[in-house]
Amino acid sequence: MSMSQSLTATTDTYATPMAGAPRAIGGSTAEAGDFLALLKPRVMFLVVFTALVGMVVVESAVHPVVAFAALLAIAVGAGASGALNMWWDADIDAVMTRTRKRPIPAGRVSGGEALAFGLTLSVGSVLTLGLVANWFAAAFLAFTIFFYAVIYSMWLKRATPQNIVIGGAAGAFPPMVADAAVTGTLGIETLVLFAIIFLWTPPHFWALALVKSGDYARAGVPMLPNVKGADETRRQIWLYTLVFVPATLAPIPLGFGGLAYTVIGGLTALAMLGLAWRVYRIREGEEAMKAAQRLFGFTILHLFILFAVLLAEHGLGLYSAVPALVIPGMA
């Protein structure tokens, strides 16, 4: 993971604050909670949750112990990615208000400790998944960690305003990794779940970027509002939302989104369109910031609701098909 790097900003305004890998900041006074923070627990929860949904929608007959062990390995792999991301981004985190209290910039964990921690967990999670499930899933998990730690963190994040568009794939892989773990292959269901998370990422993060553009500018991260402007960011949010919303409804005609998903998915889709439209139309003053904050908050709730309904339908036996809306042969 310790690849050398020379980072050049996309414009003169967005110069990289530090070239090369981040150095340890101060000595280590780390406690268990600091290493837990390196794992990004909230992200880990989302990964486990979406991976679990990926398992249940394919309705595999895998043994529960194998499924649990696979989920645990996927969770640890996600945590490893988070630790490696924090190691590399220590310089950025130190100048952003929402991240400067993280363990490395705060001086509680050294960069070397974070790197060793992340690499150890990466290797352990991949080997565990290969041994308890299959090596196809293990290879997929290894690629996911590499994609987030190297492709996104080390390259895309500081190189292009499309960083979270391409890098968002890393956060969308867990349902597919889970599918591979319990079936040994990939099905249409988890490909759709991947598409939903992938298309959800730009409106979610760009809404936050509108509010935190000053933070990203100080850190030299070329987020879309700082490179292309707030108005272009609002336009892109609206365009991505127009693609994201139909993707959220795709499980219905494909036969794995039932009656509850049809009703709830339809209502949340309308809400998402309404909030994204407000962000697009309201462009000045405090109301513009509030519109972006509301959209950011709702995107989190929206994704959780959609996956929770699928989990309830398939995991709790609540699935009830809507034949009139299903493509023939897909149910």
- For range 204-217, the mean pLDDT: 90
Which one of 28-32, 100-104, 122-126, 153-157 scores highest in mean pLDDT?
Answer: 122-126
Q: Let me know: does 183 contact 137? Beta carbons within 8 Å.
A: no
- For range 8-36, the mean pLDDT: 51
pLDDT value for 28? 54
pLDDT value for 2? 36
CA distances from 294 to 7, 100, 134, 165 (A): 34, 24, 42, 21
As a whole number of angstroms, the distance between CA 67 and CA 56 comes to 10
Q: Given CA atoms 145, 151, 152, 158 in this order, what sign does their dihedral have? A: positive
State the pLDDT confidence band at 220, using cuts at 50, 70 and 90. Answer: confident
List, as one string, the DSSP characters of 157-217.
Answer: HHH-TTHHHHHHHHHH-HHHHHHHHHHSS--HHHHHHHHHHHHHHHHHHHHHHHHSHHHHH
As a whole number of angstroms, the distance between CA 263 and CA 251 comes to 12
As a whole number of angstroms, the distance between CA 11 and CA 265 comes to 41
**What percentage of the chain has pLDDT greater than the value 90?**
73
- 15, pLDDT greater than 60: no
pLDDT value for 31? 85
- For range 127-140, the mean pLDDT: 97
Q: Which of 121, 135, 241, 113 is nearest to 184 (CA)?
A: 135
As a whole number of angstroms, the distance between CA 17 and CA 218 comes to 9
- For range 221-240, the mean pLDDT: 94
pTM: 0.88
- For range 131-154, the mean pLDDT: 96
- For range 170-178, the mean pLDDT: 96
Mean pLDDT of the chain: 89
As a whole number of angstroms, the distance between CA 225 and CA 102 comes to 24
Give the contacts of 229 (CB within 8 A, at least 6 positions apart). none
- For range 218-223, the mean pLDDT: 87
pLDDT value for 321? 85
- For range 233-259, the mean pLDDT: 97
| Tens of pLDDT, residues 264-291 | 999 999 999 999 999 999 999 899 999 9
